[in-house]
Amino acid sequence: MRHPHRFLLLLPLLSAGCQQRYPEDPLFGYSRAVNTDGSPIPGATIALERAPPAPLDPAGPGAPPTFSPYGTSTTQANGEFTFQVLWGDVEENRPDTYIQYRFRLALPLDANGQGTFLSFILNGDVELPALQPWDARLAVSDSPQGPTLTFAPAPPTPPLPPSGKLRFVYFHEQGSSAPQEVQVPTTTPEAIAHFFSGGLPMWRQSGVTSPWVPGPHLMEDFASPEVQLRALSLGEWIFSPVGGSWSATSFRQEWRTGRLALPAGASRPISRGAACQPSLSGECPWTDGQLTPVTISGTVEHGPPESLVITLAEPTHLRRAVIRGLHFESTLNGPERVRLEGSVDGQQWTPLAEAVVRTFEPQRMDLDLQSNAFANESSWDSPFQDERLAPPREALVFLDLPLQTQEPVRYVRLRAEPDYQPGRNLYLYSLAELSVFP
């Protein structure tokens, strides 16, 4: 069932109002550079970069943009700095398309690999959040339960400047006589744990709090795992100076730590080396212990497959499953679930586990959709060679699931389905690894 909203009117963000602008007209941005403790960074050179939007693939993650040097600014004694761009460098109307350029500001990484950056679009004079690294104090220690991560809380939400307002939309509920004005809040940062092995993503988990012990199944038997913390905030601010035209900015601010080494894992899945269907030539790439994402191939006639089945050497009671880097079709209409099912003969299937991975809040989703283009395009913008931080409905899925098995199973099936349409399977696009443990 679709949500019951009749229409949504978006406040124009990219229009510059009634004022006529010329390519050589200057626009100004304002920010501050501060240390982790909030003290100003005086006399620092801050580089400004610019990039055109990169083409996006609806069935995939798109591609990183190419940022080029645009200018520099020097911070004052209080850490404040001003940068200038020309209107002709902000947007470009071509016969076949409209291009809006993104800009980026960043502080150099400190000795611990901590840093922050801002990427943004603008259409006039704007204020931006302060460039302040996250004093995460990430540390790893041993405990009887395994390696324990301790760290500081995530950075606070960038405060709205006194001269700014939040963007809003007109939201019309079914049955109401008038649309309601709904503000689009700046998103609250939360700690996101990223694990790597051999330089490839091994695990990702949002909303972790200190202290946190990753389970032994997450570590599997990877020999050289590492962990990094990141955080993200997305915002849209509007400015209405007295006697001047209003202006607006959409921004992404990210914070990151360096990577710390973790002890090697010691939990080998029983699925290691298991055969799979769809099958590729040679060893199954989704049970081989490698973390490279691999497309789940289908046929030209039927498109991507709707399930992946692995075959164990013999029927086994299973207790745990770990899914790494799953990318599947998103309907944008409701909650979506990942399901695992087991079978002895490959014909009759019983539930093993399920998890809702994309929730559905009608109003929140509508607001997200309005901002999705910027959130999606800017998800590549880290200048620190970090992996992509995609919007929730575009992000890869990582799941650690307890399994309910009454009888031993030999076949394990992975699929996804929308809650609002039971029985419909969603296409599976790619996966890094599926592991099950007895």
Q: Look at the alpha carbons of 219, 110, 40, 27 in this order and tell me if their dihedral is positive or negative.
A: negative
User: Which CATH number characterizes residue 400's domain?
Assistant: 2.60.120.260
Question: Is 372 a member of any domain?
Answer: yes
Under a CB-based contact definition with an 8 Å cutoff, are residues 81 and 46 in contact?
Answer: yes
Do 223 and 82 fall into the same domain? yes
How crowded is residue 76: how many other Cβ atoms within 10 Å of its Cβ?
15
**Considering its fold, how many domains does the chain have in total?**
2
**Percent of the chain topping pLDDT 90:** 64
pLDDT grade, residue 351 (50/70/90)? very high
Question: Is 270 a member of any domain?
Answer: no
Do 423 and 393 fall into the same domain? yes
Quote the domain boundaries for residue 55.
5-261
Question: Is 58 a member of any domain?
Answer: yes
Do 208 and 325 fall into the same domain? no
Under a CB-based contact definition with an 8 Å cutoff, are residues 370 and 10 in contact?
Answer: yes
Least confident of 83-97, 196-210, 280-294, 367-381: 367-381
**Contacts of residue 119, Cβ cutoff 8 Å, sequence gap at least 6:** 102, 103, 104, 251, 252, 378, 381
Supply the pLDDT for residue 167: 84
Asked if the model's pLDDT at residue 101 lies above 90, the reply is: yes
Supply the pLDDT for residue 367: 52
Dist. CA 34–CA 211, nearest whole Å: 27
Do 196 and 340 fall into the same domain? no
Out of 233, 261, 289, a domain closes at: 261
pLDDT grade, residue 232 (50/70/90)? very high
**Preceding peptide of 12 cis, ω within 30°:** no
Dist. CA 356–CA 417, nearest whole Å: 10
Do 65 and 188 fall into the same domain? yes
Q: What is the pLDDT of residues 59-83, one digit of tens each?
A: 444 577 899 999 999 999 999 999 9
Do 149 and 206 fall into the same domain? yes
Q: What is the pTM of this model?
A: 0.88
Supply the pLDDT for residue 245: 77
Supply the pLDDT for residue 434: 98
Asked if the model's pLDDT at residue 316 lies above 80, the reply is: yes
Residue type, 42: P
Question: Is 267 a member of any domain?
Answer: no
**Percent of the chain topping pLDDT 70:** 86
Under a CB-based contact definition with an 8 Å cutoff, are residues 318 and 409 in contact?
Answer: yes
Question: Is 266 a member of any domain?
Answer: no
- pLDDT winner (highest mean) among 86-95, 255-264, 273-282, 390-399: 255-264
Do 371 and 397 fall into the same domain? yes
Least confident of 218-227, 357-366, 370-379, 403-412: 357-366
Do 360 and 426 fall into the same domain? yes
Under a CB-based contact definition with an 8 Å cutoff, are residues 248 and 13 in contact?
Answer: yes
Instruction: Using alpha carbons, list the distances in angstroms from residue 12 to 168, 246, 249.
Output: 10, 11, 11
Do 88 and 221 fall into the same domain? yes
Mean pLDDT for the stretch of residues 312-339 = 90
* Residue in the structure block whose two tokens are 């399920």: 354
Out of 261, 287, 311, a domain closes at: 261
Supply the pLDDT for residue 79: 97
Supply the pLDDT for residue 424: 85
Supply the pLDDT for residue 390: 83
pLDDT grade, residue 438 (50/70/90)? very high
Mean confidence (pLDDT) of the chain = 86
Least confident of 111-115, 217-221, 271-275, 329-333: 329-333
CA count, 13 A, side-chain hemisphere, 198: 7
